[in-house]
Amino acid sequence: MTAFRIAGLACALGVANVFAQEADPAVARNLAATCAACHGTNGASLTALPSLAGMSREEMVAKLREYKAGTRQGTLMPQLAKGYADDQIELAARWFAAQPPPRR
């Protein structure tokens, strides 16, 4: 393979990787919707469970990673968090951080 072909292939792979990393907003919203039963629509909890809406991305990612690793106690969250890939956790955390916190 010539150097030109190798460079072209590397460039094409790099461009494909950039497109693959751009998140579809519907994917983040759909991931977040799986949390609604416990944490409320759009993350605005109406129960004693914490609201996720308006929580910082960093805080949510940290907590979910702790649940996933088994270092944070919880009833359902440790099991649920294990089902999410790191990029899914990041997408959901960004989505919830962008939601307005609930008014109490």
Predicted confidence (pLDDT) per residue in 30-49, tens digit: 999 999 999 999 999 999 99
Give the C-alpha separation, 12 to 27, whole Å.
25
pLDDT at 7 exceeding the cut of 70 = no
CA angle 70, 76, 77 (to 5 degrees): 50
Which long-range contacts (C-beta less than 8 Å, at least 24 apart) are formed by 41-45?
42/99, 43/96, 43/99, 44/99, 44/101, 44/102, 45/102
* Per-residue pLDDT at 88: 96
Predicted confidence (pLDDT) per residue in 50-79, tens digit: 999 999 999 999 999 999 999 999 999 999
* Per-residue pLDDT at 22: 59
Q: Tokens 């990787």 identify what position?
A: 17
pLDDT at 1 exceeding the cut of 80 = no
For residue 103, what pLDDT band results from cuts at 50, 70 and 90? confident
* Per-residue pLDDT at 37: 95
* Six token digits for residue 56: 């910082």
The whole-model pTM stands at 0.75
* Per-residue pLDDT at 18: 42
* Domains annotated on the chain, with CATH: 24-97 (1.10.760.10)
